Chains A and B, each alone.
Chain A
Amino acid sequence: MMSEPAEILDLDLIKIGFITGGKKVFLYPVISSHAKTGELIAIIGRNGIGKSTLLRTIAGLQSPLAGIVRIEGRNLDRYSRNQLARKVGYISTEVVKTGDMRVYDLVSLGRFPYTDWFGRLDSFSHSAVMDSIKLSGMSDFAQRYLTELSDGERQRAMIAMVLARNASLIILDEPTAFLDIKSKYEILQLLHDLVKQQNKTVIFSTHDLHSAIDHADKIWLMLDRGIIEGTPEELILNNAFDELFADSPMKYKRSGKIKNYRQKSI
């Protein structure tokens, strides 16, 4: 099966932002981009540039102020909440720490779009939950309470919740922000495996340039003038990352080092 991977996400001239007091507040220039099945995409950009807003817009949690977001070729507006939940998984920077909730309970909630009115899991849903827990490396923790887990384990549990609903597009907002080095690389490896082995599409935002370059298939570089996208190699060769350091004497080197070009005399 060597056919061209299917296009799962299409951002068609969208404008992101919010509406306050009846006025549209645009946060960012027009965005046009797309993602294919089996791609791991990292979004990089300074704080406040609109990464979270873009991710929330893709996840259908807020509407674009202009343009069309298409998931598997269909306008996101045309999906019901339930249908969208089956396609797109979203993990924000807020990690769930509900008291008295077990990992199994959390992951079961991932089956929400499929369960009956009382939220009962049938045997298929149960298998899906157990598969997702296993896939995210949480098999030994299934009956542990969320409050007993480390930050990295909780993040895995959140990923398992998204996997349980069999979403093909997974959106994560700074999934490694509060993690220690080991957990950070484990999560990135997990995302990488999901993309390569389970054929998921993962889009995540991060401030960690190095791990984005190491792990991602593609980087969406959110600069003030718009998004530049490409493979990590292309962006390095075009010196695209230098624009991240626009107002500073720092420069990104091809070796992966960030060097200070400030003159000694200043």
Chain B
Amino acid sequence: MISGRSYPGTSGFNPSLTRAWIYMGLIAGLTLCLFILDLFLGSVSLKPGDVVNAILGISDNTTGIIVRQFRLPKAVTALLVGIALSVSGLQMQTLFRNPMAGPYVLGISSGASLGVAFVVLGFSSEISPESLSRLGNWMIVAASWVGAGFVTIIMIYLSSRVKDIMTVLIIGIMISGGIGSLVSILQYFSNETMLKTYVIWTMGSLGNLTTPQLTVMTVSVAAGIILSFATVKMLNAFLLGETYAKSIGLNIRLSRVIIFAGTSILAGSVTAFCGPVGFIGIAVPHIARIIFRTSDHRILLPSVVLTGGLVMLLSDILSQLPGSDNVLPVNSITSLIGIPVVIWVILRKRKYSEIF
């Protein structure tokens, strides 16, 4: 039946591919622009010329320190956070075939919040806020990582045992809910200073990373992205639903575990260093789908990487309220950008019974 005769077009023929490359180029260019703009904007207004000198490493004065030690790491962090959360959101949406799934459906953010709450709130009577700050934020990072890792391992284990993926989703939501109530108990018994520290953590922050922390996060995100590129073929199969994915030759359990591992590394490391940054992971994959109009992860994944970086840089710039010296919590901005996108996607697609 298969003739082996040639058809017009190259192998892997796809007429929308050229268009996709053009869009990716545009988004990459725009991301670069926003990255540079992010260096010029901040709570202290600097002369553009000084910033350029500082980037080139010419100046050693205060401007140099502000740009090289504060703004550059912050912009890099924004880029990494955007990429990591968006990629993990894409993976979760495809795997659960649910447009509302995101990086945190596996309980990563609730696990992290429990870890942080234990350290910040639970031991508030033992540790004074001063001694906590002397430890630096490594303590919060470690707590968050342990908490996220703990819940994620439980979820990965369950998902390798449970047959139906919807069951995994529901268990994830239930576990998150349960942890939420544990955290509120801890909040109820904690003192004001500690409560404030915790609440500020939940608001997310891109600017608290030290250089070694940024290095750790860069390596983790890079590892997670490499792993996610290795799952592209599996993700495409999951688009058909698990029965068909199995019938076309996919090993469902192994694929689930690999995809979950990638997601956990991505979302877990971001949450550890920056707190639970919301809605980027849910909204960006939808934005990419609208722009690229494809379900093929070979195109979607790089698109989501670029779009994620772009949206997060934009959120960071907006959170600095250009022209003023106030800085808003980045989580509010990402929510304000993300929520309308998600609502719009759902309304736009109401014609079809399913997005997946």
Residues of A in contact with B (beta carbons under 8 Å apart): 59-61, 81-82, 84-86, 88-90, 92, 94, 96-102, 104-106, 109-110, 112-113, 115, 117-128, 130-132, 135, 143, 147, 161, 163, 165-166, 198
Whether A81 and B246, one on each chain, are in contact in the complex, defined by CB atoms closer than 8 angstroms, is yes
Contacts A94-B241, A98-B295, A123-B11 given; indicate if A166 touches B2 (C-beta within 8 A). yes
Q: Which one of A81, A89, A165 has the greatest number of beta carbons of chain B within 10 Å?
A: A81
Query: Among the listed stretches B111-119, B217-225, B272-280, B346-354, which one makes contact with chain A, having 4 or more residues with CB under 8 Å of it?
Result: B346-354
Of A94, A97, A110, the residue contacting B352 (CB under 8 A) is A97
Whether A118 and B232, one on each chain, are in contact in the complex, defined by CB atoms closer than 8 angstroms, is yes
Whether B237 and A100, one on each chain, are in contact in the complex, defined by CB atoms closer than 8 angstroms, is no
Give the Cβ gap from B8 to chain A, nearest Cβ, in Å: 9
Of B241, B247, B356, the residue contacting A59 (CB under 8 A) is B247
Whether A112 and B233, one on each chain, are in contact in the complex, defined by CB atoms closer than 8 angstroms, is yes
Whether A143 and B352, one on each chain, are in contact in the complex, defined by CB atoms closer than 8 angstroms, is no
Give CA–CA (A210, B145) in the complex, Å. 63
Whether B12 and A113, one on each chain, are in contact in the complex, defined by CB atoms closer than 8 angstroms, is no
Chain B count of residues within 8 A CB distance of the other chain: 43
Give CA–CA (A102, B356) in the complex, Å. 13
Whether B294 and A100, one on each chain, are in contact in the complex, defined by CB atoms closer than 8 angstroms, is yes
Contacts A82-B249, A96-B244, A119-B233 given; indicate if A131 touches B352 (C-beta within 8 A). no
- The B interface is mostly helix, strand or loop, or mixed, namely loop
Known: A113-B248, A120-B12. 16 other contacts (CB 8 A): A61-B243, A81-B249, A89-B247, A92-B243, A92-B244, A100-B289, A109-B240, A110-B248, A112-B248, A117-B233, A119-B298, A120-B298, A123-B6, A124-B2, A125-B11, A132-B2
Cβ of B323 within 8 Å of any chain A Cβ, yes or no, is no
Q: Enumerate chain B residues within 8 angstroms of A102, measured Cβ to Cβ.
A: 294
Q: Enumerate chain A residues within 8 angstroms of B237, measured Cβ to Cβ.
A: 109, 112
Q: Which one of B13, B240, B248, B356 has the greatest number of beta carbons of chain A within 10 Å?
A: B248
Cβ of B7 within 8 Å of any chain A Cβ, yes or no, is yes
- What are the 10 A-B residue pairs with the smallest beta carbon separation, nearest first? A85-B249, A119-B233, A123-B11, A101-B295, A112-B248, A113-B249, A90-B247, A128-B2, A82-B249, A100-B295
Give CA–CA (A135, B3) in the complex, Å. 12
Of B13, B14, B354, the residue contacting A97 (CB under 8 A) is B354
Give CA–CA (A56, B7) in the complex, Å. 35
Q: Enumerate chain B residues within 8 angstroms of A115, measured Cβ to Cβ.
A: 233
Cβ of B296 within 8 Å of any chain A Cβ, yes or no, is yes
Contacts A81-B249, A104-B14, A109-B248 given; indicate if A99 touches B295 (C-beta within 8 A). yes
Give CA–CA (A4, B150) in the complex, Å. 61
Cβ of B208 within 8 Å of any chain A Cβ, yes or no, is no
Give the Cβ gap from B338 to chain A, nearest Cβ, in Å: 19
7 contacts between A and B (CB under 8 A): A81-B246, A96-B240, A100-B294, A109-B239, A112-B249, A122-B11, A127-B3
Cβ of B293 within 8 Å of any chain A Cβ, yes or no, is yes
Whether A101 and B239, one on each chain, are in contact in the complex, defined by CB atoms closer than 8 angstroms, is yes
Give the Cβ gap from B300 to chain A, nearest Cβ, in Å: 9
Whether A105 and B233, one on each chain, are in contact in the complex, defined by CB atoms closer than 8 angstroms, is no
Chain B residue nearest to A120 (CB atoms) is B12
Q: Enumerate chain A residues within 8 angstroms of B337, measured Cβ to Cβ.
A: none
Of A81, A113, A126, A198, the residue contacting B13 (CB under 8 A) is A126
Give the Cβ gap from B324 to chain A, nearest Cβ, in Å: 40
Give CA–CA (A110, B356) in the complex, Å. 18
Cβ of B200 within 8 Å of any chain A Cβ, yes or no, is no
Q: Enumerate chain B residues within 8 angstroms of A97, measured Cβ to Cβ.
A: 352-354
Give the Cβ gap from B119 to chain A, nearest Cβ, in Å: 41
Contacts A92-B244, A112-B250 given; indicate if A100 touches B293 (C-beta within 8 A). yes
Whether A131 and B239, one on each chain, are in contact in the complex, defined by CB atoms closer than 8 angstroms, is no
Give CA–CA (A109, B230) in the complex, Å. 16
Q: Enumerate chain A residues within 8 angstroms of B3, measured Cβ to Cβ.
A: 127, 131
Q: Enumerate chain B residues within 8 angstroms of A143, measured Cβ to Cβ.
A: 15
Whether B2 and A131, one on each chain, are in contact in the complex, defined by CB atoms closer than 8 angstroms, is yes
Give the Cβ gap from A238 to chain B, nearest Cβ, in Å: 35
Whether B248 and A99, one on each chain, are in contact in the complex, defined by CB atoms closer than 8 angstroms, is no
